[in-house]
Every structure is written in structure tokens, then in C-alpha cells.
């Protein structure tokens, strides 16, 4: 529990979650995300690894290109 629970819960929990959502939304809105040149979508590994928390076995590499209106 990164923010705690019960009486000792972090008072900035809502602000922290909103801040992460806002940052992610801005990144998705402001950039076009593509696979690196020469990488086929069919070849991207979707295998998971981990025990308590799961993550991708191999990192997903994306190339951000600024979105121009």
C-alpha cells in the first residue's frame, strides 16, 4: 500500500493520483507513440514476469513524436 490505509492514510492521496493521471493524459495527448523502425507489432513480446507485482518480461520501447496540429 503506497499511501497507507485507515487512520494513517496519506492526506495527499487524491492529489498524487490526480497528478499521475494528468501527467499521463498530457503525454498521450501531446505525442504520437510508435514502435521503433523495423519492429513489427506481431513480434512484440507480451510475456509477463514477476511474483507479487507483474510487469513485462521485456520492456516496451516506444518512440514519441511531438503531435503537431
Element containing residue 54 per DSSP (H, E) = strand 54-56
Closest CA relative to residue 58, chosen from 69, 43, 48: 48
The CA distances from residue 44 to 9, 33, 38, 60, 69, in Å, are 39, 15, 12, 8, 30
Give the model confidence (pLDDT) of 24-50 as tens digits: 999 999 999 999 999 999 999 889 988
Rounded to an integer, the average pLDDT of 14-31 is 95
Amino acid at each position: 500500500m503506497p499511501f497507507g490505509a485507515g487512520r494513517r492514510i496519506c492526506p495527499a492521496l487524491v492529489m498524487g493520483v490526480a497528478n499521475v493521471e494528468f501527467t499521463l493524459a498530457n503525454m498521450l495527448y501531446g505525442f504520437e507513440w510508435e514502435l521503433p523502425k523495423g519492429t513489427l507489432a506481431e513480434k512484440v513480446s507480451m510475456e509477463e514476469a514477476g511474483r507479487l507485482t507483474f510487469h513485462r518480461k521485456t520492456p516496451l520501447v516506444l518512440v514519441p513524436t511531438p503531435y503537431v496540429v
